[in-house]
Structure formats: C-alpha cells, structure tokens
Structure 1
Amino acid sequence: MKILPLAAALLLPLLAHAGDVPAKYPDYPSETPAQFVPVTAGFDYERREVMIPMRDGVKLHTVILMPKGARHAGIVLTRTPYNASELTAHTPSPHLEPMLQGYDNAADVMVEDGYIRVVQDVRGKYGSEGDYVMNRPVHGPLNPTPVDDATDTWDTIDWLVKNLPQSNGKVATIGISYDGFEPLMSLVHPHPALKAAVPMNPMVDGWMGDDWFHHGAFRQQNMAYVYEQEATRDNREKWWSGFFDQYDLYMHYGSAGALGDAYGMRQLGFWNKLIAHPAYDAFWQQQAVDKLLGAQPLDVPVMLVHSLWDQEDIYGDLAVYRAIKPKDTTGEKVKLVMGPWHHGQEIGEGSSLGAIRFGSDTAQYFREHILRPFLAQYLKDGAPKADLAPVTAFQTGSNQWQRLDRWPLACESGCASVSRALYLQADGRLGFEPPTSGAAYDEYVSDPAHPVPFRARPIQPIGSGDGLTWAQWLVDDQREASGRTDVLSYVSAPLTAPLVIAGAPEVHLIAATSGTDSDWVVKLIDVYPDQVAAQPAMGGYQLAVSMDIFRGRYRTSFDQPAPLAANQPLDYRFALPAANHVFLPGHRLMVQVQSSWFPLYDRNPQTYVDNIFFAKPADYVKATQRVYHAAGQASYLALPVVSGAH
C-alpha cells in the first residue's frame, strides 16, 4: 500500500471538487427595500428635489419646500455652494421650521409667512451638474462661457414660476456670505418675476476688504476654505493640521505660498488665481460686484444687511450701497440695515457678541420688524407698504435702533456729520488738538520671527461649533496687544460728554520703516472705565470699534505695487470699516498701531519682493518702524463725528 504525503492527501479533496458548481445557499432576502417611500401625510410641508435645466443643458439640484395647502404663495430662493440637501434637513421633523432652523436665512419668517422655500446647489457643487468656479464672474473677459450665476438664477426663477402653480409668481432672493453674493447676481439683468433681493453680508470685492485680501494683505487663514471648497465637489476633502495653535502652523511653513505647496494646492484653480494676482489688477477689478452693479440700471428693490463686526465680509455690502444708492431716485428701492452682529448673526440670537451686551435681541428685532414687512410688501398679494426708513442702523454704545435718511450721515434731521481729526501725540496721548511739542515720533521693532497675534493664543481655526470663537474675534479685548513692545498705543483723557461717530474713520498715518515694504494695522478702540458696576468683567475692556490692515507697497497704487523708500516718513491713507458708535462719558479713546496681524494675515517680509506668496526665509527681516506726531508730520484718524447728537 502506497502512502501519500500528508500535503497531497489534503489536496485531493480540493481537486476532486475543483470543477463543481459552488454550493447555493437558501435565499435569505435583504431587509432593506429596493426603494423606501417615506410616509409624510402628517407633515406640514412637502419636500421635492428636482434637477432644473439651465440654458446650456446643465441641470442644477434644487430642493423645494412647499407648505401644505400653499396657494398664491411667494417664493424665496437661496443659491448655495454648501449642500442644499443638508441645509434643508437640519433637524428631521414633520414641521418645516425645525428642518430649516440653524441654517435658513430667517426660518421663523419664512415658515410663519407661508413662503415656498427653495434652496439650490450652485453649478458644480454637491448635487448640481457642471463646473465649479469660485464666485463665478459674469460673462465677459473673465468668463468666456455664456453662463454665469446671473443666468443660472434667471433660468431657475423662470422654471419655478412656470412649474409651481401654488405660487403667485413673485420671487425674492436671499442669502448670507457666498449665499449673499448670489442675490447680488440675481440683480444682473433680473428676471421679471424677481420682486426683491436681500443680500446679507455678501462677498463683493475679495481684494479690497472681503474674504481674500484687505488692502493687499492676504487673509491666509482662509486657505482652509479654498482647500475644502475646491478640492472636491462635495467638500469631502478636509483641511488638516498637525498643530493645535494656528500661529505655529503658519509660522512653520513661512509664506502662504510654501504652505499651499505643502498642501498640494496648486491643483486648485482658484488658489492659482490668488497667487497669480496679489495686486488689485483687472482680475479683481472686473469681478468687483459693486462696480458691476454700479454700471447698470437698478430695477429690483434691495435690502442690504450689514454687520458692524463682520469678521469675514465687512467691506462688500456698504460698497454696493455706495454704488447703487445714487440710482434710487425715489428713495424706495434701496434699504440699508446695519446691526451689531458678527457675520450672519442676524439670523440667530443677537442680544450679545462675545462680552458685549446690547440690551435686547437685535437679530430678532431685525427679522420681525425689518425683514418680515420688507418681504411681505413684495411677495404677498395685497400686502401693505413696509414702514421702513432708508437706513435702519443700530447704534452701539447707546444700544438703540435708529431710523435714518441716509448713510453715512447717521442722525436725525437737524444735525450733521463732520470730520474731526483725532491726533496721535507724544507720550502716548490722543486728542483733538494738533501736536505742538514733544518727541517727533515713536518707534518699535517689527520682527517677522515674532509677529503680533491677531487675538490671544492659542489661535483657533476659522469655523463655528466645538467651542470655536472665530465669530467674535473683532470684539476681543485689545489689552492682549496693548501690552506688547511692538504695538504703539495712544489714549485720550476720559470723555466728559458722549462722542458719536457714524461712518468710516479714515487713517492718515505718517510713518517710516527701515525696510522696503511694511504692513500697518490701525485700530480705533473704546476703552471702558476701570470699573463697570453693571458688568464687572468689562472693567478696563478695550473694545475695537473699527480696525483694519494696509500693505505698504500699495501706498500710491493698488494695481502697481512699489518698494517703500527706507527710513523716509511717508503718508498712508486708508479707510477703516464703518462704525455707528457712541463713546460714553467716562470712556476713553485709544488708537493702536502695529505692523503684523498674524496668522489671519500673511507676514510682510519687510523686504520688497515681487510676490509675497513666494517670499523666501531670507527675505523676512526686522524693521524699525516710526510713527510721526510732530507739527507738519501729524498722524491722525479723521473721525465721522455727529455734531449736535446726544
């Protein structure tokens, strides 16, 4: 008897069945149906998801939320790059308001007034077809295609009024930030059914003072937004970091360009545009929405909603107001609202911002008494005319709403805004009298190796939730900066009477640098008394009323940068964001000057290079900065003081 090796013996059964058909198990059906049909008979709304065709054949994913029993209802449209499906299903519920609460632009008003709510993914994002382009420019030199956000909005409105028999054929556009840019686009050759537009905190001019630059200084913390927004259609690729403190992250890589290369960002179309256009050239000028709207007729009523402490888009809506208000010959088509909010806070809770209290829910007031009647006037059949002033502005400090005829004159008839020079003076003093004696200048050393943080470290990433406080950084206590040797602080005597300002303070800075380029950060601050009985934690608080940055290379031209003459006193002039504020008796005014605001803005190497995105480590040098306050070389802020106001 022949004995097989063990391995061969084990292999024989496998070979014997090698040609057999695999054993078939009994059917065991899946417990998940091929298509589940929700039962929504008890819901107070109907949800539809449709693909609306555009003129070039591309279809855009659109969510329609129809109140049950809707008849002759107005339509409110929002176009978004932030996922229409998710934004309209916030809290699963048989009731519409919880579905929208937390995202929707005033869900309470939308639901209570019975509007048909429509939210659409913009071209190239989430469920929509087509190619995505950040803030897609209108057809023209920057966009050779026949389609843009204006045409997509027109085509969407046309489809809605033809396919929703429950509507009365009246449409309003509304949105915040990028979603606020979209209502502005709806005003470009508007559809006849568009009856009103409500741009809130819109992206308007990315170079002058919104998301990407401020006066030429690059807002590098927004690189995470570009990364997530453009890497994939559905934002599934997330920004990453090996650092807890954002200050350390941006210092580690040096320049914004080096950081972008480390993250592979040259694969992203918009990033390549950013690094190719650091100056205010035709690329930025031709897509600035205020310039675009200023060059065409004003056909549709507009309510521009501005946040006085908008940490993201503090420039754009007031720029649009300046551009289109002159076209409002009747005084009825342009309404401006200014509230004491961060970016988008007007749709949330508005009784406070950070440590600052307003004495009432200012956001609810806006929705109930301003937004609701405005929409009703234009969307509801037979609704009365809204009793709204041309400008409705919240005055901080006094904490009261004002009805104004125009902006920046921000007081009742019978008083006027005048420009008063607030002078920097020797020995850290500040006052309305020109300097006559004392040292000619103050100086400090600006060291790119130790840039001034824009808020207390550790620096958090941009975002909301999970304890993040990005939304309130503009009202942070500025004592963190005033204690540094590379920040100059000038303080007035305590006020004996209220000082009211209403408008944009203008910087007139006489300064010199030992380098050939420099950034200048200027802050106007309200210093609280050392003791505040009603709120002890506010004792000595340094509240920034208005502050911004200016990149020195653009001193004489925004589109043609040039080196600075080293060690020469030069005149820098630029506007700070608008304020509507009362400095109360017992408070003091403060002005701070510094040369970095990191890591929100990229570091200026202080050596002139052609493109700061590509600055090398050796380009970053210390510079001695001098701020002048001598007769004939006086630095000051021109304050828009309201005389005769109380």
Structure 2
Amino acid sequence: MKKALLLSGCFAAFSLTAQAQDMPAGSIAPDMPEKFQVQDANFDYVRKNVMIPMRDGVKLYTVILIPKAAHDAPILLTRTPYSADHMVSYASSGHMASIMQGYDNMPDVIMDGGYIRVIQDVRGKHDSEGKYVMNRPMHDTSLNGTQVDHATDTWDTIEWLVHNLPQSNKKVGIIGISYDGYTSLTALFHPHPALKVSVPMNPMVDGWMGDDWFHYGAFREETLPYVYNQDTTPKGTAKWWANEYDAYDLYLNGVSAGAVGKARGMDQIGFFKQLLAHPAYDSFWQQQAIDKLLLKEGLKVPTLLVHSLWDQEDISGAIDTYYTLQKNAASAANLYLAMGPWNHGGEAKAASTLGSINFHADTGLYFRKKILEPFLAHYLKDSSIPLPGRVTAFRTGDNEWETTTTLPSQDCRSGCTGLHFEPGHGLGLAAPVADAGVVSYTADPDHPVPYIPRPVITSSAPGTPWANWLATDQRNVTARPDVLSMTSPVLTHPFTIKGQPVVHLTASTTGTDGDFVVKLIDVYPDEVPEQREMGGYQFMVSADILRGRYRKSFEHPEAIPANTPQLYSFNLPMTNHTFLPGHRIMVQVQSSWFPLYDRNPQTYVDNIFLAEASAYKSAQISIDVAKSWVDVHATTPTGNIFAASTP
C-alpha cells in the first residue's frame, strides 16, 4: 500500500514537472481552460446559445432552453434589448424553473406548458450583431432605408427555429413586456406561418401620444436616464449620472430637458437628436405608431393584449391598439384583451397589492393561470382548450374579475355621465348654472408641482418609488395653492366607471402656453377600520396631461391667446373602478407634474426642449366652472347617489 502511494506521488510529481517543463520560460500555467464545459448532464433542461443568421447576414444571439422531456413541444419566443443572458441565469441551477426569474419570464406558465423557451437579443444590443435603433421603424416606411426590421428579424428567427429544433411541434408563440411587448406586436407584420399566437404585454405603441416619450405633447423627462443607459453602448455599460440626489433639483437646475441631456453628451445619441428635432406629432412619430400601421396590415394572428391599469410607463399602448384594431372586423376576430390592477409588468409576478392598495387576492396569479395559460395552450397545443373571454378585466373597488365582449366607446357622445365642476370647489352630476363663475390658481414654473413627494428618486435609481407612483396618495399636493381640487359629497351608493374618461376643460391663462394635468381620484373615508392607514387616502384612478399648444392639433402647435378661454379636451387612461359608499369623487387640475414631465415655460417658444431660462414665467389659470367637466361611462342607481351634505 505504501509502495502504491509512493508511486502515485511520483507520477503526480512527474506530471506537474512535465507540465512545468512544457511552459515557456518566464510564464505560468493559467487556471482557466480554453473552453470550460459545464457539467449539465443532470440538468432538467438543455441550453443552447446560438447565433441565428438574418437575411442581411447579421447574426442575432439567441438562448434556447429545451426541457429534457420535450417532445412535440411548442416554442415560446421573446425578443429583447435587455440581454437574453440576464433573463436566464446560466448554470445557476440545474432546474429550468429556477433560472427563469428575470424580466419577462413567467416560470409557472412556461413550466406548466412544457414550452421550449427562446430569448433573443435584438440587433445591436448585448451579444447580437448589427446596429441598434430605438424602436426600429418598419422597413416599408421612409424612416428605414434598409430591408430589415423587427418583423423580418422575427420571421427569420422563427424560420430557423422550426427547422432546427426537432423537439418542437413547429408552433411558435411570441410574448413580452414593454419593449419586448413592442417586438411582440411587430412580429404581426407579414407574420411567419408558424407564428400561431402573440401576447404583447404593456407594449410601447405610440411614443408621442401616451407611452414612454410624450403624453399629448408633454415630454416625459424621467425617460432621459433610460435613453442614456439604453442608447449609448450595446451592453448599457455607460450609466446615467447626476450630482443631485433629488431629481426635482436636477431638472429644475438644468432648465430644459434638452439642456439636461446635452450636459451629459446625449447630443451624440441619434434618438436624443430625433427627440429634439420632433417635439410635435409629425411624420416621424406617425410612421412609428404601431397601432395605426397594424390596422393597415390587418391582424392575422390571434393576439392577447395585456394592459395594466396603473402602468407608469406604457399606459396607452395596449388600449390604443385594441380600439384601433376593433375598427376592422377581420382584425377584431383575432383580438383579445386582459387588464388588471397592475403597474408596468405587474401581471408577471405576485400582485395582491399596488403600493398601499390591497386587492385581497393575487391578481397576477389569476391572470397567468386563468387567462394566459389557456390562451397559449389553445393555439399552441390543443385547440379544444376553452379560450378566455374577449375582454377580461379586474374591477377595483369591488375587487372582482369580470368578462365582457368589448370595451366601452372611446368617446362620450351619448350615454355618458358628466362629473361637473360646481361653485365652491364642488363636484356633482348636474351641470351648474351658466354664471357659476371661475376658479383660479397661479402656476409658477420655478415651483412646479412634484409628481411624487420629494425627494424625487429618479426612476432608474435604487429605492425609487417609480413602480407604484400612480397609486401614490394625492394628499401630498391637494393642499398646494396651485392645485385645484373639486370634490363631491359622500357617496351613498356605489358608482362604477368603465372605459376612458373624457376631459372637457374650459380655461384661460395669462401666458401664451401651458400644461393641463387632470386627475380623477377616489377619496377614502376619514376612517377605514380594517386598514386605518388608508383613512382619507386619495387614490388616483386615472390621470393625464395635455400640452396646451396642441389643444387643436397634435401636428401643428400654436400659441394660446392670453386671457382668452379655450377648450382643452382629451381622454384619460382606461378605468374599471367602483367608488364605494362612504367615499367621495375628486377631480384635480394643475399645470405641472414635475419632473416626470418637463416644465412648460408658459411663454410660447418654438421648441420647449431648447427653452431659455428667461422664457419660464408665472401665469394665472382661470377655469370656467360651468363649462368644465369629466365624462365617464358610469353604472349608477337611479336617483341621487350623494349624501345631503359632506361630513
């Protein structure tokens, strides 16, 4: 035995000596092999990292996860600018469910369905070849001089997958949240025959009208860090920086959004330069409005649009697409919608609360199990599996799910209920007399209204309240003299609203431009026994902003005539909410929402992105009480629904 050990030691010494002798003088043996082989024989999945060629020769990095037991399995595809590798933690676990914890992954859905999971970096991002373009325009528009776009890249990817994955049934679904929801929509243009279903969740659709970049012409200043981080390097290695902890100070000191961006070198970024060059809704934005382009294309693939009622990033995309495609019967036949009480992407995870609001059930789990799983399975596995309803929606207040055949109309030409402004800062269901007077406030751009309590932690920073800010208690601004609050008496009956509220605001300003923010708020009773911290809570049900220069035309701005009443009419985001007895209804009006939106100078300038500090001036805003109201699609009992007086 000792002799054997001695010989073993001699052989080991000889091996090390031989290895050392093979090394060139002055070098050392490296620890790392030329190529490390992961010992994954006991994993329950097989991972493949492939570069899939596109028609123009560019290759896109693609991660493929195949369950070991996969046979005749459908493929579930996501195309992302946010790193395929980051979305699946390579070799962190031998179990497929454990590694799919990143953005966009819903492991319960994927594992229940036995899907082959495919995630791809879009061209120009992370490990894919090519050049990145933010929301790359479709190739048959004047904005894209090439023959490739997200639609062709999706087609080429699916073509490769169905010919190279023998474990599949050659049926593909595409799914994604936000930007990945956008690529799920672009896949519907000239779709590959193997694409059987699409699920765009919280998709970015029209960046000017109401998604990431603008809302009705007001620029979302809080998107500058996103553009910086996303559009400077392929892997996002350059990070947004700020010397101020409070973003309110950062943007106020920076004067304009254009100046803040230029101070960080963003004028090197193509998309930033496009923002500055196109502040109005011109052809640059119109040719990127996916909903309108898709209407012309026609919806040929069954599609489930997913909408979050408190989406802090893309609150109009899914809803605008739904209403647009409903205009064509053939497209509408392939269209489904699910919406719930979520923030951006909240449906993909546990969702029993939204900030302080408690729904007393996991609405995210319900969506995934009762709506998403059956929808995917019907088209990708077994068509006998029942489909969910055409429109499945969660109604807050009552906290109930409901199914309908369609959404209410986007306009309120008939059948709507007006929430009318009343003298004394009241709100009621009857229009007041014609001479009800005006209510006024002074809007000072040097002291704009914060969209969340200060300090404002920017959306990309640790500790930010960004995800749930739309559910923030509005009492933090109600007491401000530059915020107008119109409040109803206490409700004696439930008051349910659905669809998009429509604002009709008649106002004058001493300036020549200005913004109008309108918020519809559920005011809780002063005491809520089961959750005392909710006593008096002001829950924002729906809210949006209109830049005054676009009151008549989004494409052709014009100055506001000073001291002359003007009509400001626009839709608020989708609602499905019941104001309960004991609650009150409030409508708030203000002229800044900072720094979520850039400040309006209130002096007309050609381009607010480039406004000088001297252009920012205070203005008095006067609102005609008799000619201002918010229309809602309401379900109300007959008779008076309010108490005789407010306690």
- Provide TM-score, normalisation by structure 2: 0.93
Letter in 2 for 1:580: N
CA distance in 2, matches of 1:32, 1:333: 53
Letter in 1 for 2:504: H
Match of 2:77, SS?
strand
1:561-572 alignment, distance < 5 Å: 561-572=557-568
CA distance in 2, matches of 1:86, 1:104: 11
User: Hey, what does 1:107 align to over in structure 2?
Assistant: 107
Deviates more, 1:578-587 or 1:434-443: 434-443
The alpha carbon displacement at 1:103 in A equals: 2.3
User: Hey, what does 2:53 align to over in structure 1?
Assistant: 53
User: Hey, what does 1:250 align to over in structure 2?
Assistant: 251
CA distance in 2, matches of 1:27, 1:552: 71
Do residues 527 (structure 1) and 520 (structure 2) align?
A: no
1:211-290 alignment, distance < 5 Å: 211-290=212-291
**Among candidates 541, 548, 555, match of residue 544 of structure 2:** 548
Letter in 1 for 2:422: Q
Do residues 341 (structure 1) and 328 (structure 2) align?
A: no
The alpha carbon displacement at 1:112 in A equals: 2.3
Contact preservation (8 Å) 1:44, 1:95: yes
Do residues 470 (structure 1) and 466 (structure 2) align?
A: yes
Match of 1:504, SS?
strand
Do residues 117 (structure 1) and 117 (structure 2) align?
A: yes
The alpha carbon displacement at 1:97 in A equals: 1.1
The alpha carbon displacement at 1:383 in A equals: 4.7
CA distance in 2, matches of 1:409, 1:452: 32
CA distance in 2, matches of 1:45, 1:504: 45
Letter in 2 for 1:441: V
Q: Deviations over 1:105-160 (max 9, x none)?
A: 32211022110000000010011111100010101211010000000000000000
The alpha carbon displacement at 1:386 in A equals: 2.4
CA distance in 2, matches of 1:518, 1:26: 72
User: Hey, what does 1:3 align to over in structure 2?
Assistant: none
User: Hey, what does 1:424 align to over in structure 2?
Assistant: 421
Match of 1:397, SS?
coil
Match of 1:150, SS?
helix
User: Hey, what does 2:388 align to over in structure 1?
Assistant: 388
CA distance in 2, matches of 1:368, 1:332: 23
Contact preservation (8 Å) 1:409, 1:502: no
Letter in 1 for 2:231: E
Contact preservation (8 Å) 1:332, 1:390: no
CA distance in 2, matches of 1:539, 1:437: 36
User: Hey, what does 1:636 align to over in structure 2?
Assistant: 629
Do residues 452 (structure 1) and 449 (structure 2) align?
A: yes
CA distance in 2, matches of 1:559, 1:331: 29
**Among candidates 498, 502, 505, match of residue 502 of structure 1:** 498
CA distance in 1, matches of 2:363, 2:201: 15
Letter in 2 for 1:447: D
Contact preservation (8 Å) 2:494, 2:636: no
Match of 1:418, SS?
coil
Deviates more, 1:101-110 or 1:46-55: 101-110
User: Hey, what does 1:150 align to over in structure 2?
Assistant: 151
Contact preservation (8 Å) 1:90, 1:101: no
Letter in 2 for 1:188: F
CA distance in 1, matches of 2:100, 2:394: 27
- Cα RMSD (Å): 1.9
CA distance in 2, matches of 1:54, 1:644: 59
User: Hey, what does 1:15 align to over in structure 2?
Assistant: none
User: Hey, what does 1:14 align to over in structure 2?
Assistant: none
Contact preservation (8 Å) 2:506, 2:566: yes
Q: Deviations over 1:30-74 (max 9, x none)?
A: 222121111001100011100000000000000001100211000
- Quick one: percent identity of the two aligned structures? 55
User: Hey, what does 1:12 align to over in structure 2?
Assistant: none
User: Hey, what does 1:604 align to over in structure 2?
Assistant: 600
CA distance in 1, matches of 2:92, 2:113: 21
Would you identify which runs of 4 or more consecutive aligned residues in structure 1 move more than 4 Å? 24-27, 328-332, 643-646
User: Hey, what does 2:479 align to over in structure 1?
Assistant: 483
1:67-466 alignment, distance < 5 Å: 67-89=67-89, 92-139=92-139, 140-329=141-330, 332-380=333-381, 382-408=382-408, 418-436=415-433, 440-463=437-460, 466=462
The alpha carbon displacement at 1:326 in A equals: 3.6
CA distance in 1, matches of 2:305, 2:329: 13
Q: Deviations over 1:77-126 (max 9, x none)?
A: 00000011111117811001111124233221102211000000001001
The alpha carbon displacement at 1:332 in A equals: 4.9
Match of 2:293, SS?
helix
CA distance in 2, matches of 1:119, 1:102: 11
The alpha carbon displacement at 1:296 in A equals: 1.8
Structure 1 spans left out of the alignment, 5+ residues? 1-23, 411-415
Q: Deviations over 1:225-245 (max 9, x none)?
A: 001111101000000111111
Contact preservation (8 Å) 1:300, 1:333: yes
Letter in 1 for 2:578: V
User: Is the alpha carbon distance of 1:217 and 1:365 closer, same or farther for their aligned partners in structure 2, counting shifts above 3 Å?
Assistant: same
Letter in 2 for 1:626: S
- Provide TM-score, normalisation by structure 1: 0.93
The alpha carbon displacement at 1:387 in A equals: 3.5
User: Is the alpha carbon distance of 1:206 and 1:544 closer, same or farther for their aligned partners in structure 2, counting shifts above 3 Å?
Assistant: same
Matched positions, count: 614
Contact preservation (8 Å) 2:202, 2:318: yes
User: Is the alpha carbon distance of 1:560 and 1:94 closer, same or farther for their aligned partners in structure 2, counting shifts above 3 Å?
Assistant: same
The alpha carbon displacement at 1:27 in A equals: 5.9
Contact preservation (8 Å) 2:416, 2:631: yes
Match of 1:376, SS?
helix
The alpha carbon displacement at 1:28 in A equals: 3.7
Match of 1:505, SS?
strand
User: Hey, what does 1:622 align to over in structure 2?
Assistant: 618
User: Hey, what does 2:18 align to over in structure 1?
Assistant: none
Letter in 1 for 2:635: V
Letter in 1 for 2:74: G
Letter in 1 for 2:530: A
CA distance in 1, matches of 2:37, 2:487: 67
Match of 2:326, SS?
helix
Match of 2:153, SS?
helix
User: Is the alpha carbon distance of 1:47 and 1:574 closer, same or farther for their aligned partners in structure 2, counting shifts above 3 Å?
Assistant: same
The alpha carbon displacement at 1:463 in A equals: 3.5
CA distance in 1, matches of 2:511, 2:396: 39
CA distance in 2, matches of 1:540, 1:351: 21
User: Is the alpha carbon distance of 1:280 and 1:580 closer, same or farther for their aligned partners in structure 2, counting shifts above 3 Å?
Assistant: same
Letter in 2 for 1:229: Q
Match of 1:408, SS?
coil
CA distance in 1, matches of 2:214, 2:32: 51
Structure 2 spans left out of the alignment, 5+ residues? 1-23, 642-647
User: Is the alpha carbon distance of 1:353 and 1:579 closer, same or farther for their aligned partners in structure 2, counting shifts above 3 Å?
Assistant: same
CA distance in 2, matches of 1:91, 1:223: 35
User: Hey, what does 2:4 align to over in structure 1?
Assistant: none
CA distance in 1, matches of 2:102, 2:211: 24
Q: Deviations over 1:314-372 (max 9, x none)?
A: 00111111121343449652110010000000001110000001110000000001100
Q: Deviations over 1:564-621 (max 9, x none)?
A: 0001111110000010000111110001000000000000000000000000010000
User: Is the alpha carbon distance of 1:60 and 1:337 closer, same or farther for their aligned partners in structure 2, counting shifts above 3 Å?
Assistant: same
Letter in 2 for 1:204: V
Contact preservation (8 Å) 1:328, 1:334: no
Contact preservation (8 Å) 1:150, 1:186: yes
The alpha carbon displacement at 1:625 in A equals: 0.6
Q: Deviations over 1:400-448 (max 9, x none)?
A: 00011111279xxxxx993111111111111011112775101111001
The alpha carbon displacement at 1:295 in A equals: 0.8
Q: Deviations over 1:518-555 (max 9, x none)?
A: 00000000000000011100000000000000000001
Letter in 1 for 2:590: Q
